[in-house]
Structure 1
Amino acid sequence: MRENKLISRVRTTSFKKIVSYLASNKANLGGDIYVGTEFAIGLGCLPPFSPVHDKTDLVRLDVLRVIIIKSGWCEPVINFKKYRCGPGDILFINWGVAIKEDALGRDITFDGFMMTQEYLKMIFHGRLPKRFLSPNLCFSFHMQDFELDIWSQYIRQLYSLANIQSMVNEEAMKALFGSAMAFAMSLYKSRMPQNDDMWSRSKELIEHFLYFVDQYAKTQHELDFYASKLCVSTHYLGMIVKKETGETAKAILDKALLLLIKLELRYSNKPLKVLADEFHFVTLSAFCKFFKRCAGVTASEYRTMPDNQHEGSLPLYNLEKAESKGEGPYL
Structure 2
Amino acid sequence: MNNKNNLTEAAISNFKDIVSLMESNRTTVEGEVYVGSKFLVTIGCNPFFRPIIDEQSPVCMNVARVVIIRSGWCEPVIGFKKYRCGPGDMLFINWGVMLNGDSFGANTTFDGITVTEEYMKLVFGGRMPEVFLSPGLCFSVHLSEREQTVWKQYVRTLYNLAHIRNIDPVVIRSLFVSALNFTESMYKSKGSDNHIAWSRNKRAIERFIRLVNDHAKTEHELDFYASQLDMTTHYLGMIIKKDTGTTAKEWIDKTLCVLLQLELRHTSKPLKVIADEFNFVSLSSFCKFFKRRTGMTASAYRLLSDHEE
Q: Secondary structure at the match of 1:127?
A: coil
Q: TM-score, normalization: structure 2?
A: 0.94
Q: TM-score, normalization: structure 1?
A: 0.88
- Consecutive unaligned residues in structure 1, runs of 5 or more: 1-5, 311-331
Q: Answer yes or no: is the 8 Å Cα contact 1:76–1:102 preserved in 2.
A: yes
Equivalenced residues, count = 304
Match of 1:41 in 2: 41
Q: Distance in 2 between matches of 1:12 and 1:185?
A: 25
Match of 2:228 in 1: 229
Q: Secondary structure at the match of 1:218?
A: coil
> Sequence identity of aligned pairs in percent?
53
User: Map of 1:153-172 to 2, 5 A cutoff?
Assistant: 153-168=153-168, 170-172=169-171
Deviation of the 1:200 alpha carbon = 2.5
Deviation of the 1:206 alpha carbon = 1.6
Seen in structure 2, the aligned counterparts of structure 1 residues 49 and 22 have a Cα distance that, compared at 3 Å, is closer
Q: Secondary structure at the match of 1:219?
A: coil
Q: Secondary structure at the match of 1:69?
A: strand
Q: Which piece of structure 1 moves more, 262-271 or 183-192?
A: 183-192
Q: Deviations over 1:221-280 (max 9, x none)?
A: 111111111111111111211122111111111110111111110000100011111111
Q: Answer yes or no: is the 8 Å Cα contact 2:29–2:48 preserved in 1.
A: no
Match of 1:186 in 2: 185
Q: Answer yes or no: is the 8 Å Cα contact 2:94–2:132 preserved in 1.
A: yes
Match of 2:291 in 1: 292
Seen in structure 2, the aligned counterparts of structure 1 residues 304 and 272 have a Cα distance that, compared at 3 Å, is same
Match of 1:322 in 2: none
Q: Distance in 2 between matches of 1:299 and 1:52?
A: 36
Amino acid at match of 1:164: I
Match of 1:130 in 2: 130
Q: Which piece of structure 1 moves more, 194-203 or 73-82?
A: 194-203
Seen in structure 2, the aligned counterparts of structure 1 residues 55 and 84 have a Cα distance that, compared at 3 Å, is farther
Q: Secondary structure at the match of 2:100?
A: strand
Match of 2:3 in 1: none
Q: Distance in 1 between matches of 2:96 and 2:219?
A: 24
Q: Which piece of structure 1 moves more, 279-288 or 9-18?
A: 9-18
Deviation of the 1:7 alpha carbon = 4.5
Match of 1:219 in 2: 218
User: Map of 1:64-143 to 2, 5 A cutoff?
Assistant: 64-143=64-143
Amino acid at match of 1:190: S
Q: Distance in 2 between matches of 1:52 and 1:232?
A: 37
Q: Deviations over 1:186-225 (max 9, x none)?
A: 1111111232222222322221111111111111111111
Q: Which piece of structure 1 moves more, 193-202 or 209-218?
A: 193-202
Seen in structure 2, the aligned counterparts of structure 1 residues 48 and 42 have a Cα distance that, compared at 3 Å, is same
Q: Answer yes or no: is the 8 Å Cα contact 2:7–2:244 preserved in 1.
A: no
Deviation of the 1:16 alpha carbon = 1.7
Q: Distance in 2 between matches of 1:167 and 1:308?
A: 9
Q: Answer yes or no: is the 8 Å Cα contact 1:55–1:100 preserved in 2.
A: no
Deviation of the 1:294 alpha carbon = 0.3
Q: Distance in 1 between matches of 2:76 and 2:220?
A: 38
Over aligned residue pairs, what C-alpha RMSD do you find? 1.5
Match of 1:308 in 2: 307
Q: Deviations over 1:117-140 (max 9, x none)?
A: 111111110111111111211111
Q: Distance in 1 between matches of 2:27 and 2:201?
A: 42
Q: Answer yes or no: is the 8 Å Cα contact 1:12–1:246 preserved in 2.
A: no
Q: Which piece of structure 1 moves more, 288-297 or 53-62?
A: 53-62
Deviation of the 1:81 alpha carbon = 2.1
Q: Answer yes or no: is the 8 Å Cα contact 1:68–1:110 preserved in 2.
A: yes
Amino acid at match of 2:203: E
Q: Secondary structure at the match of 2:50?
A: coil
Match of 1:24 in 2: 24
Amino acid at match of 1:80: F
Q: Secondary structure at the match of 1:307?
A: coil
Q: Distance in 2 between matches of 1:55 and 1:180?
A: 31
Q: Distance in 2 between matches of 1:156 and 1:190?
A: 24
- Is residue 273 from structure 1 mapped to residue 253 from structure 2 by the alignment? no
Deviation of the 1:296 alpha carbon = 0.5
Deviation of the 1:57 alpha carbon = 2.3
Q: Answer yes or no: is the 8 Å Cα contact 1:56–1:101 preserved in 2.
A: no
Q: Answer yes or no: is the 8 Å Cα contact 2:18–2:49 preserved in 1.
A: no
Bigger relative CO (Cα 8 Å, ≥ 6 apart): 1
- Consecutive unaligned residues in structure 2, runs of 5 or more: 1-5
Q: Distance in 2 between matches of 1:214 and 1:186?
A: 21
Q: Answer yes or no: is the 8 Å Cα contact 1:69–1:85 preserved in 2.
A: yes
Amino acid at match of 1:119: Y
